[in-house]
Structure 1
């Protein structure tokens, strides 16, 4: 037998020996008939949960192969439990994605030992809205403005050191001289709000305006809470009378500390996939997310649920993470001191 014939024979044998699963598979072929789990780092009923469930009901039709999207709650440690699981243990094939606290990717910068991940290695999929976070007090707490908040103690609920409720309260205390005491251990923001209604705590920070409008608008209409501070780069059109935290700072150092907390607000409620997901599937998930954000049926459902939709792409989130990681280490040290 000639050398050419031998080589052809070997090629045929090799082709037969390679299993079908090892051959190239398109994104559509991979996702067809699959279930994608969308994990939520907080408890049922809060803003993260509400957004995720509306998104889950529409996202699948925009992913090639139209997989079923199943939302699943995995609360704990201000969503760090979920972030760690996505990084360390979740399937890395594109069948597991999650939504975590907008500040969670920056916990390694703050030397949080509970954050066992490299944030730069996550695959950021997108977010549905830029956030405007607030510190608020029950009206019967007798705290109506920044002066009151500096002179009187306010018991506020917390969901873990990595979460916005905790970090915003701690940084406001350090940079603005406010007097908030954190009562920690609530599974999610919704649980803090219920605790406010029961009188267990008298306020909270890290309360998204979009969440208030979607789930607790009655508290605003009935004058049950006072909105005290706004963590954002520019004021929300609805909140022109609520001061931006940066406007209340006296020094550049204070402003830089506050900016470290404010900068991630554009992260909104980020959706991430684990490291190692094939790039074509990451690209497909990113495109599907942005297509969902423009889907008239999704937008109608979001409007009905009272959700604001001002999306950012996965690529934009990746850039934000990189920019925050470039913060002056001296400022990070001040933030660590304030939040520990």
Structure 2
């Protein structure tokens, strides 16, 4: 896998270098940074109770614990526009004084990658201080008698049905993955969540599905144990250098790229694969970044990166993280720049291909 990971990393690194993302920041003393008696607002462009909101509220007390002066860290929900509204407002209003941070997710990054004209935020100008990954597993009905990705060729001409939340939602990742594999999948839109897709699978209405890691472990593992579902592959993860690796939650499952090789006997390549990697990185491998505004002084950036690194290492967080963070390694410190670049950049030709694909195949207007 070295060839494709190196190519993807070099592409992201080139884009990041051009945008000023790559390169170690000079060391600064953090002694002068003190947030005592102040309040840090963690902007969340989603409503309360969703996955990203839960993620931010989980981290907030630990961030307060490790920032100098132990400021009060509060989550400020600014929902609307599929998370575009709050992100636009943050970029327009947040001051670079360390008292405002922004947390987003793949559903915020996708409009940016697609060139949605409503987007006024530029990830190249925001400064990452934490990146949180997540994962997922794709599975089929046991009745197909497909035991591994090597057998997927048996059903490549059979129409499969996938319950989708929408062509520009996080379900764009499986849409691109299934197309790359050469599977004949009909995407039925209108699902309100991945839970609806799973229920459609259980009723026999959907014949291919994926669930995020926690939902898979809770709701799909019993189907596997009952011999009604068979896992095919995970999406995998990216390490801090941008290399694709197996999902630590599912170390015995091949990741998508391995599955492709098992099915086709060669590595994936081309513009469609570049598009897949961009949206996979943004939607799963680096799904939730936390960022400071453009222009934030380096000493404040260093302070936040250290605070998040200390928070992630906190024994109490480690004990409590399973339900919110899973087994995934949180990206912290100065080595998050390249991972962040992979998740928030896309080759121009890949963007154009995806836009044309969505417009032609699914009548999506961007």
Task: Kindly state the Cα deviation for residue 72 of structure 1 after the two structures are TM-superposed.
Answer: 4.0
Residue 237 (structure 2) pairs with residue 236 (structure 1): no
Q: 1:286 aligns with which of 278, 302, 305?
A: 305
Structure 1 runs (4+) deviating above 6 angstroms are 140-145, 198-201, 203-206
For the Cα contact (< 8 Å) 1:120–1:318, is it kept in 2? no
Q: Which moved more, 1:94-103 or 1:325-334?
A: 325-334
Q: 1:258 to 1:72 in 2, by over 3 A?
A: same
Q: 1:132 to 1:34 in 2, by over 3 A?
A: same
CA distance in 2, matches of 1:324, 1:305: 21
Q: Which moved more, 1:146-155 or 1:200-209?
A: 200-209
Q: Runs of 5+ in structure 1 lacking a partner?
A: 1-24
Task: Kindly state the Cα deviation for residue 121 of structure 1 after the two structures are TM-superposed.
Answer: 0.6
For the Cα contact (< 8 Å) 1:37–1:96, is it kept in 2? yes
Task: Kindly state the Cα deviation for residue 173 of structure 1 after the two structures are TM-superposed.
Answer: 4.4
Q: Which moved more, 1:296-305 or 1:200-209?
A: 200-209
CA distance in 1, matches of 2:145, 2:356: 26
CA distance in 2, matches of 1:33, 1:194: 45
Which residue of structure 1 lines up, in the alignment, with residue 176 of structure 2?
171
CA distance in 2, matches of 1:173, 1:198: 18
Over alpha carbons, which structure has the higher Rg?
1
Q: 1:141 to 1:97 in 2, by over 3 A?
A: farther
CA distance in 1, matches of 2:122, 2:134: 24
Which residue of structure 2 lines up, in the alignment, with residue 11 of structure 1?
none
Alignment of 1:1-340 (within 5 A): 26-28=32-34, 31-76=35-80, 78-102=82-106, 104-105=108-109, 107-128=111-132, 130-135=133-138, 146=152, 151-158=158-165, 161=168, 163-165=169-171, 167-178=172-183, 179-184=185-190, 186=192, 191-193=193-195, 196-197=198-199, 202=206, 207-209=211-213, 211-212=214-215, 217-223=218-224, 227-232=231-236, 233-237=244-248, 238-245=250-257, 247-248=259-260, 251-253=268-270, 254-264=272-282, 265-303=284-322, 307-313=326-332, 315-322=334-341, 328-340=347-359
Task: Kindly state the Cα deviation for residue 58 of structure 1 after the two structures are TM-superposed.
Answer: 1.5
What per-residue deviation string (whole Å, max 9, x for no partner) do you get for residues 110-144 of structure 1? 3222322221110111124x43334457x699897
What per-residue deviation string (whole Å, max 9, x for no partner) do you get for residues 301-331 of structure 1? 2146573241212543332344567754333
Q: 1:328 to 1:90 in 2, by over 3 A?
A: closer
With the length of structure 2 as denominator, give the TM-score of the two structures.
0.67
SS at match of 2:134: coil
Task: Kindly state the Cα deviation for residue 300 of structure 1 after the two structures are TM-superposed.
Answer: 1.5
For the Cα contact (< 8 Å) 1:36–1:95, is it kept in 2? yes
What per-residue deviation string (whole Å, max 9, x for no partner) do you get for residues 134-187 of structure 1? 4457x69989775658633424232672x422x21331244233414152584x
Which residue of structure 1 lines up, in the alignment, with residue 21 of structure 2?
none
CA distance in 1, matches of 2:251, 2:307: 32
Q: How many residues align?
A: 303
CA distance in 2, matches of 1:160, 1:70: 33
